[in-house]
Chain A
Amino acid sequence: MTPDELDALFKALADPTRRRIVDRLAERPDQSLFELCAGAVAKGQPVMSRQAVSQHLEVLEKAGLVQVTRAGRTKLHRLELWPLRAAQKAWLGRLL
């Protein structure tokens, strides 16, 4: 894992809303933007605008934490754990 990739990963995780999206996707993979927003309402969490969630998903995707697949024409999002494992191998593991 390159230093740039480590930066992207930690930047992506340095936001409570993005960590919440990670938690949602860990509970249930393959959710559309609409489902992610509806799920937040169900949990009684602060309402997230679709525009905001869309931008957060883009940051997570760039960091490799979210993978986008398609069901028909709808974009679905799922969690990818390899960047976390790679970060542990490349740097965190040396400290822990």
Chain B
Amino acid sequence: MKIYVTNVFVDDQQKALEFYRDRLGFAVKRDIDLGGGNRWLTVVSPDNPDGTELLLEPSDHPAVGPFKAALVVDGIPAASFMVDDIAAEVARLKAEGVQFTVEPMDAGAVMMAVFDDSCGNLIQIVQVKG
């Protein structure tokens, strides 16, 4: 058994596509029309196109809104991505207009930072310490 897909619930799939592809730099892996305005929309790391897919899943289930809101209140990220150079990545994303809620900080085995995905989630990036 292996993990082939994981998800974030996004407020708007088109807006999420633009953020995750155009700002973060992920590549679209699947974009399938499911009807009713919903898509099976996944992105992958361009460095690892056969790796785990991230599903940009609609937030329309009634439990999702309160769940996402509660995580944001406490500053808890909905997903975590790994980067090689967190300082360079933060600089690049800020230049793209991405809003950070936690500047790079020491979190034990990793350095981490947190940004707002503009689709209702906080997202963590980590760099494993050398």
Contacts and interface: CB of A to CB of B under 8 A. Distances in A.
Interface residues of B, number: 17
Interface stretch (B49-57, B58-66, B84-92, B103-111): B103-111
Interface residues of A, number: 17
Interface stretch (A3-11, A13-21, A28-36): A28-36
Interface string B75-88: 11100000000000
Contacts, number: 50
B105 A34 contact: no
B107 A74 contact: no
Contact of A50 (B74, B107, B108, B114): B74
A39 B106 CA distance: 7
A93 interface: no
B102 interface: yes
Contacts of B128: none
Interface string B31-74: 00000000000000000000000000000000000000100111
Contact of A35 (B69, B73, B102, B116): B102
A26 interface: no
Contacts of B76: 33-34, 50
A38 B80 CA distance: 14
Given A71-B101, A74-B101, A41 B73 contact: no
Contacts of A54: 74
The 3 A-B residue pairs with the shortest CB-CB distance, nearest first, are A32-B75, A34-B75, A33-B74
